[in-house]
Amino acid sequence: MLNLLSSLISLVLMLHSSRWRASAKRLIIDTDLFSDVDDIGALLLAATSPSVDLLAVNVNFPSSYSAIAASSILAYFGHPDIPISILRPLTNVTFFDSWFYDLGEYASKVAYHWPGGTLPWGRADDAWDPVSLYRKVLSESPDHSVTIASIGFLDNLSALLDSKGDAHSPLPGRELVGAKVSELVVMGGQYPQGREFNFYGRNSSLTAHVINSWEWPVVFSGFELGVGVKSGKRLMLEGPPNNPASMAYLWYTYGSSRSSWDPLTMLYAIDGLGDMFEYANTFGYNHVYENGSNIWVDDETVNKQYYLRLRVSEDEASAELERRLLDAAWLRTSNPQVGTQEWFMRKQQA
């Protein structure tokens, strides 16, 4: 009887979890986690959202600390097994704010203090090659099932588009993407026109190559969308003591809130338009110049490209994002709920 009951319970649990997984959004993240902390907010949201099936994280900046810090965050927030790739050749460069002398370095500190996941401290060389990881994960996915959230530079995506058939799939990159990807979500550019770091900051011809030749559904989140939506303050003040996401924000911002380009983009990638966003255009396409500036072209014959705008005020978006980040940090934290003072005392005794 007990056996029957327990097998019934496990059957129900199994059905429940497989249905849950089947309806979860299959997501690949491409991040430049390094020179801004908002990538951490975005990773935190994706790692803890029940509606996401996180498949892989690709890092598009070549510091070894970027890859290891991504591994730390994923492991801490419940995903020690997610594969991570990084662009080569690797360096050990650390961030220094030579723009304003205001912002701090966090990637190496997160990597050092929270070792874990698929890339332990010192093991960035073990990271996947971005193109191979993209090709593996895409080839193993059902058709038109994968969302890619690009919250940094587009070098890896460019290389994916140009890739040839390999052991994972005979399809060339462009055909593989056309078959497997349902939507590309890009934090980059400015709308309806302008100039933004993710597009010009590393290699603008590669950006132009990806965006100007992208033939499938794509949604853009521009500089103007996230710049005035500030977040991180509640995460720093009210987050679990000594968790890597709050500490990254503290090290980087010294306690101020930060523009929310990447976490806002991730909210859209996870939940779609919801109450927070709407499409700002009904037709047209994004064009990126060789110098990385971009412009929206009002072509009525093209209708699978959109850029986002807020449906709510910036203050409302900020409050919602603060709430989501805080909930996310508490949800999967592996830290016992000790107060900060007790945490410092334990640390001194250790």
Ligand X SMILES: *[C@@H]1O[C@H](CO)[C@@H](O)[C@H](O)[C@H]1NC(C)=O
> Between residues 227 and 295, which has the closer beta carbon with respect to ligand X?
295
Cβ contacts of residue 202 below 8 Å, gap of 6+? 32, 60, 61, 153, 155
Residue whose CB is less far from ligand X, 297 or 312 = 297
Closest of 78, 147, 124, 87 to residue 330, by C-alpha: 78
Q: Under rule CB under 6 A, how many of the chain's residues touch ligand X?
A: 21
Among positions 55, 159, 177, 288, the unique one binding ligand X when judged by CB under 6 A: 159
Cα angle 202-38-34, degrees, rounded to a multiple of 5: 45
Query: Is residue 112 a contact residue for ligand X (CB under 6 A)?
Result: no
In total, the chain counts a number of residues equal to: 350
Q: Which of 291, 313, 334, 340 binds ligand X (CB under 6 A)?
A: 291
Residue 173's nearest CA partner among 128, 228, 136 is 136
- Cα-based distances in Å from 72 to 43, 104, 252: 11, 18, 17
Q: By CB under 6 A, tell whether 92 contacts ligand X.
A: yes
Nearer to ligand X (CB atom), residue 204 or residue 260: 204
Shortest-Cβ-distance residue relative to ligand X: 159
Question: What is the full DSSP assignment across 271-287?
Answer: H-STTTEEES-SS-EEE
240 and 333 Cβ atoms separated by less than 8 Å: yes
Q: Kindly identify the residues of this chain, within the stretch 50-69, that bind ligand X according to CB under 6 A.
A: 64
Tokens of 7: 């097998």
CB of 160 to ligand X, least distance (A): 8
Q: Return the number of the residue (105 or 129) whose C-beta is nearest ligand X.
A: 129
| Shortest Å, Cβ 13 to ligand X | 40
Please, which residue, 181 or 321, has the CB nearer to ligand X?
181
Q: Contact with ligand X (CB under 6 A): which of 111, 176, 206, 328?
A: 206
Question: Which chain residues interact with ligand X by CB under 6 A?
Answer: 64, 87-88, 90-92, 122, 129-131, 155-156, 158-159, 195, 203, 205-206, 289, 291, 293
